[in-house]
Amino acid sequence: MLFIWKEDIMQRRLSARQMRMIALGGTIGVGLFMGSGSTIKWTGPSVLISYAIAGMFLYLIMRALGEMLYVDPDTGSFAKFATEYIHPVFGFLTAWSNVFQFIIVGMSEMIAIGGYMQFWWPNLPGWIPGLVAITTLCIANLISVKMFGELEFWFALIKVVTIVLMIIAGLGLIIFGLGNGGKPIGISNLWAHGGFFTGGFKGFVFSLAIVLASYQGIELIGITAGEAENPRETLVEAIRSTVGRILIFYIGAIFVIVSIYPWDKLSQIGSPFVQTFAKIGITAAASIVNFVVITAALSGSNSGIYSASRMSYTLANEHQLPRKFLLLNRHGVPFYSVVATSVGISIGVILNALLPVIYPKASNIFVMVYSSSVLPGMVPWFVILVSQIRFRKVHQAKMAQHPFKMPLSPISNYVTLAFLLFTLIFMFINPETRISIIIGVIFLAVMTIIYFRKYSDKDINIQRQKAQITNKK
């Protein structure tokens, strides 16, 4: 039997090993390997502090999510929490923001893969690798959630190993002069080219927006909660360890980069990863890093298919998508949700083939569309912080013995919310990120109108029915 109609039978097949790598892989993407220079240009070496500050607040967001997941580990977690503890419209916006974000990110990754493959085969049409990649990932996700987890484990492992090796090689250059004739480079580049804070206060704050965007996807671990083995123990371990490791990877890698190379020369050297490996004598550095960024792009698309399909499942469960999106195949995977998400991402392949022919400046338009996912990508963070405050009031009895509470809540919630709002304000002030905020606001406004025109009354009736059932019990 190919399909089965039955709710709440998502199979818990994601192991602790896979969960740790999913959480890591969700935030270590192509941006670190190829685009780290863009985060450094605003503020120079002090971008290290930007990553540390953003990482600290992201840890608080993950702890807020972990507190709720420990009590209620379910698929589509933070959208579900938004519906229950804030208002159904926020659950609707959170789920659709997540779907929108990951489909857009997946589209960009498919286009990127076409470009990366041309490194080896310059005459290969860019849409062919993208089509092969999205078809393969779609089939893998349909086979089982365990297959998704295994693919993501190995994709993430490749990225992590590459970063660790780059940090080791860089420290060899800095401390021992490995690849530099035995002359240690030292760390004087951190202050020798205009100081540590080269962009002043404004540049430092502008960099925070770009840094925050690089962390998007960290909440993916919340979506996997409904399909994790031993979810409470697995989630606690993954959240406790993941943020620290991400900080080590980001800060460690960028510390090596800005120590070895003058920050204002990074735009001239291409990928710092390639140059660092090449400097210590690895002649195949460019091919190695190109392979790694392909796996990073595949990882991003793989996570996108998983995340957006599970949110589609959650929307269908809330009667905000057709019921067929709840249909599971015999492996316990939401078939239509996975296929619909994959088709959405494949639009990127079509854009890659057609838009350059129809409109030569299409690449600029696509970058604008991609950047529009930044604000929707932050919606889950706001929702998690606000939901957790209400969650703690509702579950006061369970809080007494709760082993994984959000530190210093609710003060830490308010401080983190203020930090996110502060960053958004400066994103609007910055001409280079303003358009992404405007498009994100338009998306959220349109989805809010759709909700109140189409689903508001239906949700009120559903909530009344649930209340009546609870009162009867």
Lowest-confidence segment of 315-319, 439-443, 468-472 by average pLDDT: 468-472
H or E stretch at 32: helix 30-34
Counting residues of the chain whose pLDDT is more than 90, the rounded percentage is: 18
Q: Token pair for residue 343?
A: 């088709």
The whole-angstrom separation of Cα 289 and Cα 274 is 6
pLDDT (0 to 100) of residue 173: 87
Domain ranges of the chain: 3-472
Whether the bond between 88 and the residue before it is cis, its omega within 30 degrees of 0, is no
pLDDT (0 to 100) of residue 471: 44
**Exposed e or buried b per residue across 7-18, where buried means at least 16 C-beta atoms within 10 angstroms of its C-beta:** eeebebbbbeeb
* More confident: 6 or 303: 303
Task: Report pLDDT digits (tens) over 414-423.
Answer: 999 999 999 9
Question: 3-state class of 360 per DSSP?
Answer: coil
pLDDT classification of 96: cutoffs 50, 70, 90: very high
The whole-angstrom separation of Cα 347 and Cα 71 is 38
Question: 3-state class of 6 per DSSP?
Answer: coil
* More confident: 89 or 455: 89
Which of 3.10.20.810, 1.20.1740.10, 3.90.1150.10, 2.60.40.10 would CATH assign to domain 3-472?
1.20.1740.10
Give the range with max mean pLDDT: 6-10, 174-178, 194-198, 446-450: 446-450
Question: 3-state class of 14 per DSSP?
Answer: strand
Residue 211 confidence (pLDDT) above 90: no
The whole-angstrom separation of Cα 387 and Cα 413 is 10
- Look up tokens 């990508």; give the residue: 377
Question: 3-state class of 230 per DSSP?
Answer: coil
Give the range with max mean pLDDT: 4-13, 190-199, 334-343: 334-343
The whole-angstrom separation of Cα 97 and Cα 103 is 10
Q: What is the mean pLDDT of the chain?
A: 81
Q: Token pair for residue 335?
A: 């078939």
Residue type, 461: N
DSSP secondary structure string for all residues of 387-433: HHHHHHHHTHHHHTT-SSPPTTTTHHHHHHHHHHHHHHHHHHHSHHH
Q: Is the dihedral of CA 168, 52, 14, 2 positive or negative?
A: negative
Residue 384 confidence (pLDDT) above 90: yes
Residue 383 confidence (pLDDT) above 80: yes
Query: Quick check: 138 and 339 in contact, CB under 8 A?
Result: yes
pLDDT (0 to 100) of residue 35: 57
The predicted model gives 92-97 an average pLDDT of 92
pLDDT (0 to 100) of residue 40: 81
Question: 3-state class of 232 per DSSP?
Answer: helix
Give the range with max mean pLDDT: 74-83, 256-265, 378-387: 378-387
Lowest-confidence segment of 1-10, 59-68, 295-304 by average pLDDT: 1-10
The predicted model gives 80-107 an average pLDDT of 89
pLDDT (0 to 100) of residue 23: 63
* More confident: 271 or 363: 271
Q: How far apart are the first and last CA of the chain?
A: 36
The whole-angstrom separation of Cα 376 and Cα 96 is 8
Residue type, 320: Q
Q: Classify the phi-psi angles of 371: left when phi > 0, otherwise alpha if psi is within -120 to 50, otherwise beta.
A: alpha
**Strand duo 328-329 + 3-4: pairing:** antiparallel
The whole-angstrom separation of Cα 187 and Cα 104 is 38
Q: Where are the alpha helices (DSSP H) in 216-334?
A: 220-223, 231-260, 272-279, 285-317
Would you report the helix, strand and coil content of the chain in percent, each value rounded to 5?
75, 0, 20
Q: Token pair for residue 143?
A: 């086979």
Residue 279 confidence (pLDDT) above 70: yes
